[in-house]
Chain A
Amino acid sequence: MPIQQYELGALQRQIQDRGARWRPGRTSVSELSAEDKGRRLGAEIPNMAELEAAATPERHAQARAGTYPADFDWRNFNGQNYVTPIEDQGNCGSCVAFGVSAAVEGMFQVQRNNPNSGIDLSEAQLFYCYGAQDGATCETGWYPDQALKHVQTQGITSAVYFPYTAGDQSCNLQQGYDQASVFINGFHTAGDVGAMKDWVANMGPVTTCFTVYDDFFYYTGGIYTRTSDQVAGGHCVCVVGFNDDESYWICKNSWGTGWGEQGFFRIAYGQCGIDAQMWLLDGIANTGWLNGANVLAAYASNRDSNAWVWIDQLNAWAELAQSSPEATLAMLEQLLASKDSGRPNNIHVTNDIVDTVYAL
């Protein structure tokens, strides 16, 4: 059976009949052809049917492992929004790139406690460079494991160096892209919903994939539960929160702000395999250049080459490299002088260790 084109009144009745709690309407994707709707997805999940069957809401009642509040939303944590703006994958099955980059961007802002970092990573690099290496195209889609491995080992650069446009294309990175690459320390999957919530509430947004049914394209708000049996395909998104009281996940989609709740959606626990498994990022590796960075504090102890500086852009202590005592002392003195004069630095860090300083 093909993806259905719904008449809104009929869909509304269908939702009421099923006792669902979401509102249908015309959206940025609802009027697309069945073929183009399929291209708004793009997750190749080999055993999704099994995973979906196993992802029952009952698991949430049993799982209270971990430390997390009953409801949590990175879009409003202490009045700050740590989630980067909604994007649009367009007519290409590149959802994996968007679901992954959104999680990396979100975790970046959480880890640095900077909700206004302005980070915008290149989904184009992820999909058209790394994805292409793995054989992914707009027609085939991709898989989060592969995408995350590339982010871990090769990094993902700023969108400035390769802005995203929909449609298969060659890897066209501008020179200097590697200077702005962000790496993750690693990732792992979780099948326990307590572990998922713990990670979301404590570490940052995560990536998930689920089965999209053809009524999902009409979602404009509420808590989604499927009212159709027609599978449209696999899709990847970023989870930014949850609510135990009303039993839903809060997800960031990549269909623009003209769909859902300004681009986000709430989906009931256990629906469509949304929480069958999630990909949890093991933190952002602080490797790369920090341009215009300021030192806010400094530390040293009675041990050889044990000097640290607090860098505003990292929002954390970074150790000064220890290859030679003289170099450590020189870097510390330069950074202290910058701190004193209020002048910025271009600092290169490798896994949180400062190894190069340009005191400007």
Chain B
Amino acid sequence: MTQQAEQAPRPMEIDPQQLRQASGGTRNRPTFVPPSVRRAALAMAGQGLAGQGPGQDIRVPGMRTPPAMPGGPMFGLGRPGRQAHVPRAFQRAGDAGAGRAGATHGATTVAAQYSVDYPDDLWFYDANGGWVRLDPTSENGLELMNAIVSHARQTQRPMYYDTDDTTGDAVDVYMT
């Protein structure tokens, strides 16, 4: 985690289930953000953190293609049991992820999301690994990723994501 990420407002390091219990259930006004985090947010206001991501694109330059979908349709293609030959026509999507950097996580479910009155600071709770921030390099990219994360949380469908090795931020997300 970089210094930037540490300074940014972030959700508490506790389980969303505990948060729900502490707040008295989902019908009540959430109390997800503790005073300490709120104070940190206020302290850092105006320090120019908004919109700054890792500072570089970890993906291969020019590569705008998503990786193969673990456990997804590519794996339902009748990949041969006895027959070893797999036509290249069937490998198109699988090849697309070549060159991806960073660590891949998933399949997981999104247990919670977090947003705060602070620029580009969106987090989700990986049920297997805790809070993860969405990389804010691109404002539009952040919106798109957040839409998918929201959908994954709403439907509790499996989600996968890649993180930047340096910042730990999620640099892409995909769901089935």
Contact = CB atoms under 8 A, between A and B. Distances in A.
Mutual binders A and B: yes
Interface in A295-343: 296-308, 310, 312, 315-317, 319, 325, 328-329, 332-333, 336, 339-340
A307 B145 CA distance: 8
B80 A302 contact: no
Contacts of A305: 140-141, 144
Contact of A303 (B72, B89, B137): B137
Contacts of B78: 78-80, 113
Interface string B138-176: 101111110110010011000000000000010111111
Given A204-B89, A319-B64, A302 B171 contact: yes
A72 interface: yes
B36 interface: no
A308 B66 contact: yes
B89 A340 contact: no
A315 B89 CA distance: 11
A304 B53 CA distance: 13
B87 A303 contact: no
A79 B78 CA distance: 9
B171 A301 contact: yes
Interface string B84-105: 1101111011001000000000
A147 interface: no
A202 B88 contact: yes
Interface string A195-229: 00000011110000000000000000000000000
Contacts of B57: 302-303
Contact of B64 (A77, A202, A303): A303
* Range for the number of chain A residues in contact with chain B: 35 or more
A202 B87 contact: yes
Interface in A65-87: 68-69, 72, 77-80
A299 B138 contact: no
Q: Do most interface residues of chain A lie in helix, strand or loop, or is the interface mixed?
A: mixed
A116 to B, nearest CB: 13
B73 interface: yes
B83 interface: yes
Interface in B59-89: 59, 64-66, 69, 72-73, 77-78, 80-81, 83-85, 87-89
A250 interface: no
Which among A80, A110, A312, A315 has the highest number of chain B CB atoms within 10 Å?
A315
Contacts of B89: 107, 110-111, 113, 202-204, 283
Given A111-B89, A319-B65, 10 more contacts: A72-B85, A204-B89, A297-B175, A299-B66, A299-B173, A302-B53, A305-B140, A316-B92, A329-B147, A332-B144
